[in-house]
Each structure stands twice: as structure tokens, then as C-alpha cells.
Amino acid sequence: MPKSVMWFRRDLRLADNEALCAASALGEVVPLFVLDPKFLATSGAPRLAFLFRSLRSLNEQLGGSLVVRTGNPVDVVAQVARESGAQSVAFAKDFAPYGMHRDALVVSALTELGIAAKQVGSAYAVEPGSVRKADGTPYAVFTPFSKIWMQIGWPAPFATPRVSWSGAPAIATEPIPSDPPCAAQLPEASEEAAWNTWEEFRATGLDTYNDNRNNPDIAGTSTLSPYLRFGLIHPRSLLAELNETKAHAVYRSELGWREFYADVLFHQPRTMRENLQRKMDAIKLDTDQRAHDRFALWCAGQTGYPIVDAGMKQLVATGWMHNRVRMIVASFLVKDLHLPWQWGAKFFMQHLVDGDIASNQHGWQWTAGTGTDASPYFRIFNPISQGIKFDPQGNYVRHWIPELRDLPNDEVHEPWTAGLLNPYLEPIVDHAVERTESLLRYKQLSVS
């Protein structure tokens, strides 16, 4: 019987997996996952732990047939295909800079061996590069992008195929690594857990998503980002279950943001490290020793601003942070502390279980005013008013900062107003002063 290798990557699932459907249509399937040393070296403990747990779950679904190898995918994929006698290798397309370069080399290596490479599907409902203006150029702002993204649309979810697995132990495999030391309390990592999370949100939070998604003190978001990051569920599966109500439309839009940022990175791979808006390269940033000292306090959740510190403590403790709080802590770093957004983006990627290079880097740039925001300069989040608005009872900050549990609601977001009874840290900067400084720096940039 003909054989095909299914090279799993960011699609650690059996349902709605287009590449797996293509592989299974050809005969027996050899399931393969390659532990790329580059990924292992650049991923924080939460992401690695979640990955390894996801692989264990996938292997259980496959009856123990998953082949795991460590090494350069360019060598490993060809080697496993040759060892198994496979006629083809199926895998989803990757649109990130490193992934596209790697895949081109893999295809070349397979072609030399006379083995077909079938790149089918992707981690997105609409593949990056598909949404363009009438003149063929890409969009740099989300709203017009989203309109065309919706017009292009996506197919219905793919049915789970019946597969004849032909992998381990007949084909040599390595043990899935043990979890690295990880203090974060991670969610369960499995395809079943992804669907359970979605079904719970669909039943209890989806219809009020537009009202509650910005409030970190309540369970108003889906928390599906880790599952989407590793492909334990596909966005197409979620989109298929949405209707045209406002709440569902807002959730659809949030999935669209993920696809927009992937599209931006596809067209502008340099933005993984550099400003999308080149003019922002000239803005004055602080990088001296005082800047590094302030950065350390930000990382530790010791800025004296409760909503900022609560967010940082949540990140380190769980590998995840509420999206509204991500924007608040990012704004504080770049517009109150005047530090490079790259510092914060790197820290996030070290600690986020859902760390995705496109969403992370461009989310940071949106807040910093260096990326896709159409009017970035004057959006400077006030950490006090943001806390009051989105955590009005102080439940979120009290949860992560026990010192504040006894303060009344009108003091919990600015505990220094308690005077001599202030149970918390003094703010490391005065927001009003730093807001003025930020606006001055933007003004200097615009007139230079």
C-alpha cells in the first residue's frame, strides 16, 4: 500500500486538518513531528511544556504511532520519508519568515529523492497573502483588510479522515521530552480540551463577548489562544459556528486580527524585529541603566500601578494574560517608561504559552504606534482609568496582588491615595508627567 508522511507542525489535531486529509487519501500515513533545535532554543518553558503535553495527547490519539525526531527538519523529514518508503510528504503551509525558508529547503531535499511534497492548508482561515487591494498591494490597516477577508471567505471544516497509521514502533522514534521546569499553571493540552474550552465559552460567554471581552475580572474571553497557536483547533472550525449577531461578529473580528497580523508579517518579514513604520525609527527611546532598572521592575510586576503589576503577575503565573491587560502593560512600557517595544515583546515570547511571533510582535507595535494603527500617537493608556473602567470592583488586581485585598474599590487602582495606610508600592513614575513626555517625543518626531 502507498505511504505518505504527515508532518505535523502547528496542526496537532485530527479534526479539520486539510493536510492530514490529503495524506490519508494516498494510503497509509506515517505521523511525524520534528523537534527543531531552533524552536527549542527560542521558546520559553510554558510554550515547550504545552507543546510536549500536546504531543503526548496526539500520540495517544494515534495509538502510540507518532514518530518524534530531533534535528534540522531539512534532514529529518527526508530521512523519515526514505526510511518508511513513503512516496509523498504532506504538511500545512507556513507563512512566517523562518518557516517559509525551512519549507523551501525541505521541498528541495524531497524533490532530490523523488518524493512528492504536498503543502496543503495552513493555520489560517484565509492564507496570508490572499487579501489584497485592487492594485495588488497588501493592506496596512485592519478594517479594510477585514472586509476583503470576509469576502474571500473560507471552506467548511474538513471531516476527520479515517487513517491507517504506519509509524512507531516500526519506524524509530525518540521519547517525547519531559516538560521543562515551568512554574506556570497551564491549561490542559489536547484536542479534546480545545473543543471543551470552545464549547464552554460558546455556551456561557460567546453571546456576551462584545460586552465582556475587555474585562479581566470576569470570564469574558474564550482563552483559546494556546490551542490556536499549536493547532489543536483550527479557526475555520470556530468561524463555522458563528452567526451574524453583534457578539459573534466581534469574536469573528478578533480571529481576523490574528490573520491580519500574519498577513502583515508575510509581506513585511523585517517587522519581526523592526518598526513597520520606518519614520518611527527616529523616536527617542530610553536604553540607559535607569531604563534597564525600570524594565526589571516592569517584568517583576513592581511598577506600583496595580493593573500593570497584576497583568505581569498573571503572565508569569499562568503563561497567559488577558488581551486588554496586554495592551495596558505594553502601553505602560513604551509610553510611560519610554522603552523599546522589542524588550517587552521578547519578554512576552519567553513567558506566553500562546506566543505567536506575528500576533505578538504586531500587537506590541500597534500599542507602540510603530505598526498598523491608523492613529497611534495619542493613544496612551492611563493605567489608573483603565483599571477603574475594566476592573471596576478591583477583583482582578486583588486576585493577583494580595496586598490590595482590603482596600476599598475607590482606592484599589491607586492605593497611594490611602496616604500613610498605602499597603502597596509607590508608582515608579508619574503617569501624567510621562504622558506629556511621550507626546513631546512624538511631536519632535513629526517636525523633524
Q: How many CB atoms lie within 10 A of CB 118?
A: 19
For 70, phi then psi, to 5°, come to -105, 135
pLDDT digits (tens, 9 = 90+) for 238-264: 999 999 999 999 999 999 999 999 999
pLDDT digits (tens, 9 = 90+) for 119-166: 999 999 999 999 999 999 999 999 999 999 999 999 999 999 999 999
- Kindly tell me if the per-residue pLDDT of 33 is higher than 60: yes
For 116, phi then psi, to 5°, come to -75, 140
**CATH of the domain spanning 278-447:** 1.10.579.10
- Kindly tell me if the per-residue pLDDT of 352 is higher than 80: yes
C-alpha cell at 384: 489608573
Distance CA 434, CA 336 (A): 5
- Kindly tell me if the per-residue pLDDT of 444 is higher than 90: no
Task: Give the H or E element holding residue 289.
Answer: helix 289-300
pLDDT digits (tens, 9 = 90+) for 67-106: 999 999 999 999 999 999 999 999 999 999 999 999 999 9
Distance CA 426, CA 413 (A): 12
- 147 three-state secondary structure: helix
Reported pTM: 0.96
For domain 124-157+191-267, the question of CATH label 1.25.40.80 is answered with yes
What's the number of CA atoms in the CB half-sphere (13 Å) around residue 20?
A: 24
**CATH of the domain spanning 3-122:** 3.40.50.620
- Kindly tell me if the per-residue pLDDT of 448 is higher than 60: no
Domain residue extents for the chain: 3-122, 124-157+191-267, 278-447
pLDDT digits (tens, 9 = 90+) for 404-415: 999 999 999 999
Alpha helices in 137-286 (DSSP H): 142-152, 191-204, 209-212, 225-229, 235-239, 246-267
C-alpha cell at 409: 474599590
pLDDT digits (tens, 9 = 90+) for 205-239: 999 999 999 999 999 999 999 999 999 999 999 99
